Structure 1
Amino acid sequence: MKLADKSVSKIVFLKTRTVKLQGAASLISNGPLGSVNFWNIFQGGKLSASFKPSRTGCQVSSLAVTKDNSLMFVADYIGYIYVYNIKDYAIQGPEKDRPPFIKHWRAHVDMVTELEVIDEDKVVLSSSLDCTARLWSIDGEFIGTFGQEDPWEVFTPASWKHPMVPYEILIDPESMPVHPVLEQPTDEPEEVTSQEEEEPQETSDIKNEINYNAKSLLLTITEEDIQEEINKQNLSCGSGKRLRHEKYKIAHKPLDHGGPNAFHNLQYFNLESNSVTFEKPDMSVAGTDPFQSFVSS
């Protein structure tokens, strides 16, 4: 049995809050169980907020914030990066809801090991266990992968790879869209309404017994049912063979144009033997040279 990961591998201090807002949450940590937690370290280390950012419930691997602590970037074990607006989040006290979500994108095909926000250039640097390091704009636009053949320049947006994405991300099954039901938050308790409390116990028992009997009837399969199904399969196989044979005969049936067949229209002729006579050539001029001239004496 695989144990749930309850480790904490990343913490980030919100420096702007530690100076001005003593009662606000000023520490962010990842884990356990794929959550991101906000802590108030000035009041005994109280938990101010907790939520799960990964759309698949994966463990959070890395965290990063902008210099003014207005944006939080969260990366998970399958290579996704999520962006949240935390400018006014968990300042006045504990929060029940998650901070405003901005966007997310797939940056790598494996766990993101490190995130770094470079505020001066408005870019985000990411590295991963898939042996790649990539640069993104702060809005999630793909700038390029370090070491790629095609050159790119941070200060030349025309050289960026956006709107393209890395090929291995494009073909990876984990990049497929998630059903909207799975996009709902997983850390909020579900409200379950039960009608059994309002009904008498006797009525509830009768309904349970009826449901149990109905399920028993549906799940009962006799030997006669099995034999009948086998007979149906045999009949369907036999009918399939006959059907294929009929199709073969139709496909190979000679065409009927409504007239005589081809061999009925053939014409034939009698061959006559005619003798030919040849005349014997005159050999008296065989030794005469027509080009030779004689001079009479």
Structure 2
Amino acid sequence: MKLFLLVLFFTSLQLASYANADNFVVQDGNTGLSRDEVRLIVSSWTAEKQQAAATDDAALYDLLNQAVATKKMAQEADLLTPEKDGDDYWRKEMVLHKSMQMYMMRRFLNNMEMPDLNALAEERYKTQKEKYAWVPEKRQSSHILIACAPPQCRYETRSDDIKAVQEALKTRSFEEVAESMSEDRVTGRNGGKLSLAVGVADPGIDKAYRQALFDLDTVGEVSPIVPSQFGMHLIKLDAIEPGYYKTYAQVRDQIVKDLSDEYKKMRVGELNESYRFTDETRIDDAAIREILAPFKE
């Protein structure tokens, strides 16, 4: 089968050599691909497809076959007429218009010269420092968990276990009690210590846990019993990582990207505006109202 495909492929290339007048390098009947078309088609392929086409003749044949099939279908769409095909013709035109609009926008952006945004970026760093540079305080913590699931999870449900933990903490370290009595076995093996520092707004940590942790004032302090969706916690504040501002160099790329996106959005808006109604616009009001009449309430 592979040999058969290769024969067809090289036969098609041989036929294409007779189409120099039309500058086709691939041709099937009245459909052909010029050198420039093939070059752009190849540039649109993924790196994997490009490599396959360059090293495997069968893969190249299949990819060129797909490209020709696409062009044949497009040529068939070109044959639609409003007289013969009615709304199908206009649907095709709407698709083409939208595609052309998107293409022209991309072309406009690709050819657009960007201004030097460094001075603006430095100014934005100063005026929006909280947004771009502030890193909130984080806290390291350990906990002892007495597990229970809501809505049954109340102090009374596990009161004996909670009292046993509290009693053990009078004579043993928090880490020792966590290792032997915490029902969170993942952190329990490490003295109850959470692997990551917690921010006051971290979405990955239970809200009740976060609030209780940030209510603690001094390192080493242990919270009262804290109910959460996982059970009852005793939380110890291990360390405080103070909030700080990143330097301009650390956030410059993000600021420049935001400014660049804003500039492009503004310029695209100006481009769209340049194609709006002009003083030469004429609207057949009666015809438009007739079209809209069925949609009146």
TM-score range, shorter chain: under 0.3
Q: Which has the higher contact order (CA 8 A, sep 6+)?
A: 2
User: By percentage of residues, which structure has more helix?
Assistant: 2
Q: Which has the larger radius of gyration?
A: 1
The TM-score normalised by the length of structure 1 is: 0.24
The TM-score normalised by the length of structure 2 is: 0.24
